[in-house]
Amino acid sequence: MANIFAIITAVLLAASAYLAFKNNEMYKDEISDRQSEESRLDTSRNRLTSLRTQRDDTIAERTGVEEDTVVKKDQEEKQKATNTGLQDDIDSKKSQVEDNARKIAEIEEQTKELGEISDIAAKIRRMKGEIASLEDEQADKEATLARLLGEKSSTEATISNYNTENEAITNQRSFFDSARISAIYAPWGFVTLNAGNGAGVVSGSSLDVVRDGETVAKLRVRSVESGRAAADVVPDSLSEDITLMVGDRVVPSAADEPAKPEPKEEAAEDGLSVD
């Protein structure tokens, strides 16, 4: 009888030891799962904080772009007013040039109707002096007219550049020549570029990643600063056998690319005063 109790006791102890071992394994697994969940939760919290920061940056950037657009529109109105003044000056100079030409023609006609030969020499000397003075004045007016025409062309080009840039920003189209990927954040699906709004990168615009002359991925600009920008990789635009690399060339998407603003030219200063 004592042996039976001993055997039963041994069996119970073995069962208890087995259950304790299994419970310990389950406890370890549960701790590991909880640690994994906590790690994922921390990652999600960090991601949420980053997205909120980027959202705030984008809102601030949009406000800055809207303010810049208002400033540029004001500059455009001022340029148009200046252009109107230049056109008035041009019309005035043209009238003066035509008047001088008429005076020269009248003097030349008068030389044909001179009286006695004794009076011709003095009259010719006087008329030559008047003609020379009028020709010099006309040359000055023509030079001034040419300068004003140049200023008008420069002003119109400046207005055209403002309009082109404003249209690109309004329609969320970038207008830079090319940029490079400066960093890649694969877990979060975005990259950073080595160019920003100072070069023509526009928030919300579409970009192409070009390698060996072919588009290998598409990006959507998330936020921009003066010298850099962040862009999301468009889902399903990157093939499984393609991996983005730092230094990959980035250009505005062909479908969204606007006409590039023409270089701004400074008005030539020839030192002539406007009479």
**Choice among 101-110, 115-124, 185-194, 260-269 with the minimum mean pLDDT:** 260-269
Asked whether residue 41 carries a pLDDT value surpassing 80, the answer given is: yes
Looking at the domain 179-252, which fold is it? Answer: Thrombin, subunit H (2.40.10)
Helix%, strand%, coil% for the chain, nearest 5: 60, 15, 25
* DSSP codes, 139-190: HHHHHHHHHHHHHHHHHHHHHHHHHHHHHHHHTT----S-EEEEEEEGGGTE
pLDDT(269) > 90: no
Range among 3-12, 154-163, 240-249 rated most confident = 240-249
User: 71-80, 211-220, 264-273: lowest mean pLDDT where?
Assistant: 264-273
User: Residue 266's Cα: distance from chain center in Å?
Assistant: 20
CA 150 to chain centre: 27
217, 251 contact by CB (below 8 A): no
Instruction: List pLDDT tens digits, range 47-88.
Output: 888 888 888 887 887 887 788 888 888 888 888 888 888 888
Q: For residues 191 and 127, which has the higher predicted lDDT (pLDDT)?
A: 191
Phi/psi for 177 (5° steps) reads: -75, -55
CA distance 109 to 114: 9
